[in-house]
Amino acid sequence: MNEKGAPIDAQYESSGVDESDPPLPDPLYSVLPETAVPVADLRALEECDEIVHVIPLLSIETGFGAVCERFAIQFEETGYVLENFQPGWQIVEEVDGANKTEEELLAALADAVREWHAEIAEVSGAMTGQHFDEETVEAMHVELEAELERKGYGHLL
């Protein structure tokens, strides 16, 4: 507690977070806006040399076209599952691709997506008191499966 008359700002400890730091590590910070991303823009990211695959996982139709709130992105040696929370994108799963082929890393990333979907269903069930069965969790994989098929990796389903 500070002395009477001390500035209010002095009463609060710094959280230790440097607010000038980007919320995501590079290379993610340099390619993502802070809000939902149009699906077309996500797919265009695959044209970048350092990005191997982008997989939209939760697309929402808006008056301006489809935007994505959850997606997976694969770089040469790392894969990420990202979710758009407040105040912006957060990494919910990270997959190390060291000593993995491109396809092995994509398979591991798809497994991480499935695990994240199961976790979402479990947390949602705990919060709402509802039970989400396996069929519900499988329905969450629709975009993942469609993207893997579209890319020629249907055998990873």
pLDDT tens per residue across span 38-94: 999 898 988 988 899 999 999 999 998 899 999 999 999 999 999 998 778 899 999
* 14, pLDDT greater than 50: no
CA dist 79 and 129 (Å) reads: 33
In 3D, which of 102, 76, 100, 89 has the Cα closest to residue 35? 89
∠ Cα 23 69 44 (to 5°) = 85
Comparison of pLDDT for 23 and 121, the residue scoring more: 121
Output the six-digit token pair for 150: 């579209």
In 3D, which of 103, 104, 48, 114 has the Cα closest to residue 81? 114
The sign of the CA dihedral 97, 150, 72, 43 is positive
- Element housing 127 (H / E): helix 102-128
Task: For the chain, give the mean pLDDT.
Answer: 83
Is the preceding omega at residue 25 within 30 degrees of 0, hence cis? no
What is the number of alpha carbons within 13 Å of residue 39 lying toward its C-beta? 15
* 31, pLDDT greater than 80: no
Pairing of strands 37-38, 88-96: unpaired
> Helix (H, G, I), strand (E, B), or coil: what is residue 96?
strand
Please report, for the chain, the start and end positions of each structural domain, with discontinuous segments joined by +.
21-156
Residue 119: per-residue pLDDT: 92
pTM, full prediction: 0.79
**Non-local CB neighbours of 72 within 8 Å, separated by 6+ positions:** 53, 54, 55, 57, 79, 80, 81, 82, 109, 110, 112, 113, 144
